[in-house]
Structure 1
Amino acid sequence: MQKAKFPTDITRFRKYLGKQYLEESNIHLDEKTGKKKALPIISIYILGHNLEYNDSPVIHVKRDYYDHATKEKLIRKEEFIESLTHDSYIIQVPRLRRKHRNKLETLLSIFDQSNASKESKHFLDVLESSFPDEFKVIIRRLHKASASKELCEDMNMEDEILEELATQERLIAYERAEKEKAKVEKREAEEGKEKAEAEKERVEAEKVRLEKLLKQAGIEF
């Protein structure tokens, strides 16, 4: 889950994925063969910000197998491929629509940030009666969690960490801008110096040419 948008997000997500591939808990013992097998990984990204081009609230990235030469779609799944590649779901919370097109969008609308409580940005005003009975158990669990003092403390701590990260990102951006500005000014100064030298050489050459012409005309100076 990503609440704030930072330039380092993708690098951090890649490191997290790598960690999951190494995690021993994602490997199980096959009872039939007695051999260890890797569990398939499905990555789910819940974003508190929008992607640049796609406005779908839920984007499903699915893998298919194809014969490279014939472009034929291959039906049978392979353990080797399934263990080393993964499907993904990207959820853009700000794009969750009021009109939900399926059960998943209805469920995710519980987290619609437009329902943020006026008393605290950490809580959402969710009306249980607005959801199907099958989702009410989830809402009740969330209500129960929201009453936890430890959870409130964790959220406050998270806000402080996010603010600190945002400050660091702004400082990095500022330093980067200052370096770029310095580079531009240095380049302009060097180009200006080169132009001045070129102009000086041109004037000197013109002076020599005129002196030569004057001497040819018998004019001493």
Structure 2
Amino acid sequence: MKAQGGFADRTDAGRQLARELETFGYKDPVVLALPRGGVPVAFEVAKTLHAPLDVLMVRKIGAPGHEEYGIGALVDGAAPQVVIDEAMARTVGASRDYIDMQIAKELAEIERRRALYRAGPPLVLKARTVIVVDDGIATGGTVRAALQGLARTEPAQIILAVPLAPADVLPDLQKQCDRVICLSSPYPFRAVGMHYRDFRQTGDEEVIRLLAEAKRWETPDLRNTG
């Protein structure tokens, strides 16, 4: 299904994505949003599918002295997963001690953000259908790390669902999950925000409000409290 003329805003994108996802009939899915922009989109998906909603925080692990140069990532979850490019780590001189220190730092940041969003313990993902949602994909780097980490949590299947993404990044992502649902691959792509009429920044207050509202349809046994 192709969305014509872009999207009005993230709510509109979420509703269109939800209608597409409904056609697949997934049983008891879990919806994970990449914050912050993915949360309004994922909220509409979770509401339509009557599925629990959580945020999936992915933190980059940078090279020594060049933190913007990623050598891996830490993916939030009931059992947080670390994805490290070992060859790249050796090339940039990242020792095991350095990597462990960065993991501890990023875990603390994930916990700070989870407390800020009042999201509670992460959802249990094992043997569940996990639907990962963002407001769009540009290069795919963050989503790629998220999918690699999620695969280690032993879900029944992983579905990547986004309103739009460049056509050339989708084949690689398709290898890392069971299905990719993408409503539109405009060309030229340029940037995600160019395909929304309203792409104002999603604030922490909106994330907190939507996550709290989604708790209304969540059953109490879905989170890791141990």
TM-score, scaled relative to structure 1: 0.23
Give the structure with the higher percent strand.
2
- Higher CA-based Rg: 1
Give the structure with the higher percent helix.
1
Greater relative contact order, per chain length (Cα 8 Å cut-off, separation 6+): 2
TM-score, scaled relative to structure 2: 0.23
